Structure 1
Amino acid sequence: MTLGTDPTATAATADRWFRRYAQTPTPRRRLLVLPHAGGSASFFHAWGTSFDPGTEVLVARYPGRHDRLTDPCIDRMEDLTEQLTLALRPLLDVPLTLFGHSMGASLAYETALLLARRYGVRPAALHVSSRKAPHRLTPRPLHEAGDEALTAEVRRLGGTDEALLADPDLREIVLPAIRADFTIVGRYGPRSADPVDCPVHAYIGDRDPSITVDDMSGWADVAPAGFELDVLPGGHFYLQEQRERLVGTLGRRMDEADRARGGAQTG
């Protein structure tokens, strides 16, 4: 189900929250990408031109970093979900697919639930990467640790420009957003296994230092509409070295969802 535009959620709000890669003025579908803790829209820049012209790619721009550096950071999953979902409202006029990596996977799941509960919107699919299912989470209070311990964890996982962490002045700029994200991660879960009303596709690197294939299989418990799990070569940020393979899989699955939706409408 899709909705028309919502007058209470402006295009300016959407532009502040999402980096939009407009390949066509009339997209037939949208892919919303939700970055990891400490991540930014620039990490997924190459995704903007990796899909067909009918797919508009949106990447969330979390507050407190890059061109939203002066916006207050958000450190509660409920608040982040609320603000992101409201900003998304003007963009629900075509089918929406959600993809979240690490912390972004939990955010994508919560967004799917809120879209359904509040607006009656069913995403085309939920794609979750490198993150335990909500009812299997074992939060770690890393946000309560000092800067060095937090920086060490970010380095261990990868996915953050080392230059930002090595330079004391740059690190001082990025650490508030990193700490806010890890506060979200540290306080989120375990949650009840509330089902989403769309297929769920899970992805994990076979050398992830923190998450196992069994951990990712737990997403099947919230996926009565269908579940698939892909194991790809790599660590927690396998999606850097496996980008072409991953975006190819996403594109194929969005095509399959389009065909299934068309068959349902004509059947």
Structure 2
Amino acid sequence: MNSTWFRRFTTPGNGPLLVCFPHAGGSATAYRTLAQALPADLDVVCVQYPGRQDRYLEEPFTDLTRLAGAVAEELARVLAADPGRPYALFGHSMGSLVAFETARLLAAGPLPGPRRLFLSGRGAPDAHSTAHFGLYDDADVLAEVRRLDAASRSMLDDPDIVEMVLPALRADYRALGTYRWRAGAPLTAAMTVLVGDSDPMVTVEQAGTWRSHSRGDVTVKVFPGGHFYLFDHLAEVAAAVTEGLRAEAAAS
């Protein structure tokens, strides 16, 4: 796959394509360990947003809808080369919104839409606003990251690390703060919604609001932990993804 937008961390299998969308401030490598925990027959690719790692010198997007449009355009090129291949999207936190908006764009195009969405750490956009992020300055952004991710607290005490990660974080939180839900028809794709039972950003009840955005099956999976529960439960999350993909394969 020759694309500046996608990274692979495992050998591609012949099974479904799984496209993973990182959280705010995150990069493709956030999904390295999950990709390695998934069955070898899958082809797992991870989105690399501009403004981080090997795309550090590129200007990051500050508009979430435009970001989804750019990913959808690039992914459509990949899918056009093998139009019959089933695929699914996985997003965590901000990545859930980007994955959802990408799915809407792909479903409206000439190619088949995704079979299933895996939406983690986020409620549906019409029930879970991100508008308050538009008021955040840099100090607020860093405080929010510390609140959500205990593992990052010591790293964010290092000024050099802060200087490196802040441009992408600033852009992502601006994209979240300016994002506005645009009503549309529910997707035909099934959904697996994943959430930590003590996530300070989204409750289990809010996670269930995705049900109104799909005409397919919507399953909510609850895991112990906070906003970044998935990195502490890789085997269980991989099992949930595998179960969802196998269910779609059986249905088709």
TM over 0.5: yes
Q: Is the 8 A contact 2:18 2:44 kept in 1?
A: yes
2:166 to 167, 175, 179: 175
2:78 is matched with which residue? 91
**Most deviating of 33-42 and 118-127:** 118-127
Please, what is the CA RMSD of the aligned residues? 1.8
Give runs of aligned pairs for residues 210-229 of structure 1, distance below 5 A: 210-229=201-220
1:55 to 42, 58, 68: 42
1:42 is matched with which residue? 29
Q: How many angstroms apart in 1 are the aligned matches of 2:49 and 2:151?
A: 15
1:189 to 180, 189, 203: 180
User: Could you say what secondary structure the match of 1:135 adopts?
Assistant: coil
Relative to structure 1, the CA distance from residue 159 to residue 177 in structure 2 (aligned partners, 3 Å threshold; closer, same or farther) is farther
Unaligned runs of 5+ in 1: 1-10, 262-267
Q: Deviations over 1:109-135 (max 9, x none)?
A: 111110011233221101101111021
Q: Deviations over 1:162-192 (max 9, x none)?
A: 4542211221121110011111111123442
1:80 to 61, 64, 67: 67
Q: Which amino acid aligns with 2:7?
A: R
1:115 is matched with which residue? 106
Relative to structure 1, the CA distance from residue 189 to residue 215 in structure 2 (aligned partners, 3 Å threshold; closer, same or farther) is farther
Give runs of aligned pairs for residues 6-25 of structure 1, distance below 5 A: 11-12=1-2, 14=3, 16-24=4-12
Unaligned runs of 5+ in 2: none
Q: How many angstroms apart in 2 are the aligned matches of 1:171 and 1:22?
A: 30
1:256 to 233, 247, 250: 247
1:4 is matched with which residue? none
Do residues 203 (structure 1) and 190 (structure 2) align? no
Q: Which amino acid aligns with 2:195?
A: I
User: Could you say what secondary structure the match of 2:88 adopts?
Assistant: strand
Q: Which amino acid aligns with 2:161?
A: L
Q: How many angstroms apart in 1 are the aligned matches of 2:101 and 2:154?
A: 32
User: Could you say what secondary structure the match of 1:32 adopts?
Assistant: strand
Q: Is the 8 A contact 1:209 1:236 kept in 2?
A: yes
2:138 is matched with which residue? 147
Q: How many angstroms apart in 2 are the aligned matches of 1:161 and 1:206?
A: 20
Q: Deviations over 1:41-75 (max 9, x none)?
A: 11111122222222111111111011110111101
Q: How many angstroms apart in 2 are the aligned matches of 1:160 and 1:34?
A: 20
Provide the TM-score with structure 2 as the length reference. 0.92
Q: Which amino acid aligns with 1:221?
A: S
Q: Is the 8 A contact 1:33 1:57 kept in 2?
A: yes
1:5 is matched with which residue? none
Instruction: Give aligned pairs, total.
Output: 248
Give runs of aligned pairs for residues 227-266 of structure 1, distance below 5 A: 227-261=218-252
Q: Which amino acid aligns with 2:21?
A: L
2:14 is matched with which residue? 27
Q: How many angstroms apart in 2 are the aligned matches of 1:193 and 1:79?
A: 17
**How far has the Cα of 1:83 moved from its partner?**
1.0
1:3 is matched with which residue? none
**How far has the Cα of 1:89 moved from its partner?**
2.2
Q: Is the 8 A contact 2:5 2:49 kept in 1?
A: yes
**Most deviating of 164-173 and 230-239:** 164-173
Q: Is the 8 A contact 1:141 1:183 kept in 2?
A: no
Provide the TM-score with structure 1 as the length reference. 0.87
Q: How many angstroms apart in 1 are the aligned matches of 2:150 and 2:171?
A: 17
